[in-house]
Structure 1
Amino acid sequence: MTPLLLGSEIYRGSSYGKWHPLRVPRVSTVLDLTRAMGWLPAAQFRTSPRAKPAALTVWHTPEYLAALQSAETTGAVDSGTRDRHGLGTNSNPVFAEMYRRPATGAGASLLAGELLRDGGRVHNPGGGTHHGMPDRANGFCYLNDAVLGILSLRRNGVRRIAYIDIDAHHMDGVEHAFSDDPDTLLISTHEERRWPFTGALMDAGIGQTFNLPLPRATNDTEFAHVRDRLIRPAVEAFGPDAIVLQCGADAVEEDPLSRLTLSNNAHFDTLAALTPLAPRFLLLGGGGYNPWSVGRLWSGAWAVLSDQDIPDRLPPNAEAVLRGLRFDGNSRGKNPPDHWFTTIRDAPRSGVIRGEVWDRVAHLAARIGTMPKAG
C-alpha cells in the first residue's frame, strides 16, 4: 500500500485557548509544509473521519462520551462533571471543538487499523493522545486514539503489536490499557520527574512493558544508544505484526514543556530503524508545543515514512509556511533562529553517554531475552 497521511482542516484555527500550550498550529502546518515540499500528492492524503460515539465505546465509557459531547454543545461543565471526567480544567479546558477535534484524531487511528489490514504505512499527525483514560480527560487528551488504533488493528486481524512512545511524557493511558496484554509490547522513553510522574524504570507489567525515564539534557548520542541497545532489539525479539510509533515532538530541545535536548534526527532515525521491522506501521503525532519544531519534525517524519529526500535548504514556498507561524506569549518565539524557517532537519546534538543512561538501558536490555515468544 502507498503510504498515506490522514489529516483534517478541523485543526486549522482550532485552539485549546489563548494561554494553553495547545494554542499553537500543528497539524495544519504539517499539511501546508508537506504540500509545499511536493511530498503530499492527493493520492496519498485521506481526510480523517470523525469517530462516532459508538465506535469510541470500545475504550471510553458511554457516560464520559456523553459528558464530552454535552460540554462542547453547551460550552460549560458543572462541578460534578469536572471532578468525575476531568473536563473544564486548566489542562483539559472547554473549547469549541472539544469533542469534534479529538474525535477526528481518533477517527484517523480507527481508520488506520482498517487501512493497514493487509500491510502498509499510515501517518496520523493529529493522533498520539496517549494520556486519555476510559472515563476522563487527562493531560490535554480527551480521547486515547493510540489505544483505539491498536484495538482497530486487532479487529482487523493483527495479533502482535509493538507500541513505541518517544514523547517527553509517559504513555500512562496506553499502559493502563495494555500492560497485561502479552501480545502488546510497550516501550516508553520519557523525561524523568515530569508529569504524569508514572513510568518508573521498574514498572514492567507482565514483562512486555519497558519504561525508560531519561535524565534532563538527554542528547542524540544517548538516544541512539537507547534505540540500538533497547528499542530495536526489543522489537526484533518480539516479532510484531504491526508497529505503532508515537512520535511526540516535545522531546526536542526547543520545546517549552520538557528539558530534553534531542534534535529531530533522533525521531527520524528511530522511525527509519523501526519501519523495516513489521509489515504494518502507524505513525502518530503526540506532544509538541513549539510550532516550528512540531511542524518540521512531523513533516520530516512523513518524508522518512514515505521515502522522500529531505533537502538541506527549503524551497521558498515551504520557507514561507514556516515564516508565517507565530508563537505569541512564549519567549522562544520572540527571536526564532533562521534555521527554523529554512530547514527541516536539525543539526545533530551529540554528546557523551552518561553512566545513568548506560545503566538504565542495560537494566532493561537484560529483560529482552525473557519476553514471551510469539506462539
Structure 2
Amino acid sequence: MQASDLHATPPARFIGSEIYRHSSYGAWHPLRVPRVSTVMDLARSMGWLPPAQFITSPRAKTAALMGYHTPTYLAALQAAEAAQNVTDEVRAKHNLGTPSNPVFKEMFRRPATAAGASLLAGELLRHGGVIYSPAGGTHHGLPDRANGFCYLNDPVLAIQSLRRSGAQRIAYVDIDAHHPDGVEHAFAGDEDTLQISVHEQNRWPRTGVLTDAGVGQVYNLPVPAGLNDTEMALIRDELILPLVADFRPDAIVLQCGADAVTEDPQSRLTLSNNAHWAIVAALRTLSPRYLVLGGGGYNPWSVGRLWAGVWATLNGHDIPDVLPQAAQGILGALTWAGPFRQHHPQAHWITTLRDTPREGVISDAVRTGVQSLATRRARWV
C-alpha cells in the first residue's frame, strides 16, 4: 500500500496506562524507577497531551500473545504472578524468578499491557498515522523465556499486528544501547522485515556483531563506548535513513531506548537526547505508518525527559529552554534510591528537557562500521 492509497492521517496518538505508575520490578532492580508515568505527567503539564490524543492501553489476552510466545510459557508467567513464586524447574526452563527477571506483583499484567498497546497500534495504523507507546520496546523477550528484563516481546507482536493490518514491508530500527536479540530471533530470515540496530559493542546480550546477517535484511552496528552525537548523526544520515528509504517500508517501528545517553547507568555511550529526537523526526517522513516505542532507560530524569521530548517531536511542539513550574515540579519530585546509595539530580535535569549537544570526533571504528554496512547496502540495492 502506498501513501497515496491511505486516508488523511489523524494527529499522533499516545498509548499509556496507569499500571506503570506504582509498578516496580523491586527495590534493587534497574526498573525500580518510574518512567511512563513521568512522560505522561510531563506531556500533560506542558499541554501536549489532550484527552483526544490519549488512548488507555488494553491488556493483551493470552491468545493474542501466542503469535510469538508459547502457551506453556504464558501459563508459567501467569502462574508466577498469581503465586508470587516460581519452582526451580520453572526458573530453569523459563528464566523467571531470576535477578534480571524477578517475580513481582504485576509481572504478567504489566508486560501484557505494553503488548496490548503494540497489538492495538498495529490495528490503529491500518490507514496510516503516528502512534507512540513509551511502555513498549521490550525487545529481548523470547518465545519460551523471559530475557533481559523483558517478559514478552511487544515489538515482535507490533510487527505481526501491522502485517495483519496491511503493512507488508516493515522497517524495524532500534537505537537502544542493547542489541534486540528477541526481535532478530523472530524475523532474521524475513525479507520483508528490515532490521537495523545501533548498540554498544560487548554490552549484554553480546549479540548483533557487525558481521552478523540473517537471510533477510539484518544490519547490526555495534559501536564503541563513548559514542557521541556527531557519530550518531553520521550513522543516521549515511546508514539508517538510506537503508530505510531504499527499503520503501509500509510501516516503520522505532525502538527508542533511552539508555544510550551519558547519564544512564546501563551503558557507556555518551549521547544527548538531541540525537534520539533527530532520528525520531527524520524517520517520520519515510513511511505512512509510524510506531515509536520506548525500551531501555534507567535514570528516571534522563528517560522521562528524553521520552517526553519524543512526544513533542512527533507533534511538532516547541521545547522551551526552561520548563514551566508544573513540569519542574514533576521532575523535582522524582527519587532514585538504590540498594547502596541515593542518586541526586543535576540542576538541568529538573529545569530543562533538552540536553546540551554532546558532539565530538568520529572514531575510526564508527566510520569503518558504517562504511562496511553501506557497502552491503550498495550490493543489495
Tell me the TM-score normalized by structure 2: 0.96
Name the amino acid aligned to 1:17.
G
Q: Which residue of 2 aligns with 1:268?
A: 277
Shift of 1:307: 1.6
Shift of 1:330: 7.6
Q: Which residue of 1 aligns with 2:85?
A: 76
Q: Which residue of 2 aligns with 1:88?
A: 97
Name the amino acid aligned to 2:134.
P
Shift of 1:333: 5.6
Query: Aligned equivalents of 2:132 and 2:23: distance in 1?
Result: 20
2:219 to 199, 210, 214: 210
2:173 is equivalent to residue 171 of structure 1: no
Shift of 1:306: 1.6
SS at match of 1:244: strand
2:323 to 294, 314, 336: 314
Query: Aligned equivalents of 2:32 and 2:70: distance in 1?
Result: 28
Conserved? CA contact 2:336–2:344, under 8 Å: no
Name the amino acid aligned to 1:210.
Y
Q: Which residue of 2 aligns with 1:191?
A: 200
SS at match of 1:281: strand
Name the amino acid aligned to 1:270.
I
Name the amino acid aligned to 1:89.
T
Conserved? CA contact 1:5–1:46, under 8 Å: yes
Query: Aligned equivalents of 1:111 and 1:366: distance in 2?
Result: 37
Q: Which residue of 1 aligns with 2:44?
A: 35
| Gap runs ≥5 in structure 1 | none
Q: What per-residue deviation string (whole Å, max 9, x for no partner) do you get for residues 225-273 of structure 1?
A: 0000100000011010100000000000000010000000010001111
Q: What per-residue deviation string (whole Å, max 9, x for no partner) do you get for residues 140-187 of structure 1?
A: 000000000000000111100000000000000000000100000000
Name the amino acid aligned to 1:100.
R
**How many residues were matched structurally?**
372
2:295 is equivalent to residue 286 of structure 1: yes
For the aligned residues, what is the CA RMSD? 1.1
2:340 is equivalent to residue 339 of structure 1: no
SS at match of 2:336: coil
| Change in CA separation of 1:230 and 1:199 when aligned onto 2, cut-off 3 Å | same
2:243 is equivalent to residue 234 of structure 1: yes
Q: Which residue of 2 aligns with 1:60?
A: 69
2:179 is equivalent to residue 137 of structure 1: no
Name the amino acid aligned to 2:145.
R
Conserved? CA contact 2:190–2:216, under 8 Å: no
Query: Aligned equivalents of 1:106 and 1:371: distance in 2?
Result: 33
Name the amino acid aligned to 1:215.
P
Query: Aligned equivalents of 1:207 and 1:155: distance in 2?
Result: 20
Name the amino acid aligned to 2:188.
S
Moved runs in structure 1, 4+ residues, more than 4 A?
330-333
Identity %: 66
Q: What per-residue deviation string (whole Å, max 9, x for no partner) do you get for residues 269-322 of structure 1?
A: 011111000000000000000000010001100111122111111000011000
Q: What per-residue deviation string (whole Å, max 9, x for no partner) do you get for residues 76-131 of structure 1?
A: 00011011101000000000000000000000000000000000000000000000
2:56 is equivalent to residue 47 of structure 1: yes
Query: Aligned equivalents of 1:262 and 1:330: distance in 2?
Result: 27
Conserved? CA contact 1:238–1:371, under 8 Å: no
Query: Aligned equivalents of 2:207 and 2:200: distance in 1?
Result: 10
Shift of 1:206: 1.8
Matches within 5 A, 1:5-16: 5-16=14-25
Name the amino acid aligned to 2:198.
T
Shift of 1:332: 9.1
Tell me the TM-score normalized by structure 1: 0.98
SS at match of 1:205: coil
Conserved? CA contact 2:28–2:339, under 8 Å: no
SS at match of 1:366: helix
Conserved? CA contact 2:81–2:103, under 8 Å: yes
Query: Aligned equivalents of 1:192 and 1:325: distance in 2?
Result: 31
Query: Aligned equivalents of 1:51 and 1:163: distance in 2?
Result: 22
| Gap runs ≥5 in structure 2 | 1-9
SS at match of 2:186: helix
Conserved? CA contact 1:208–1:371, under 8 Å: no
Query: Aligned equivalents of 1:156 and 1:258: distance in 2?
Result: 36
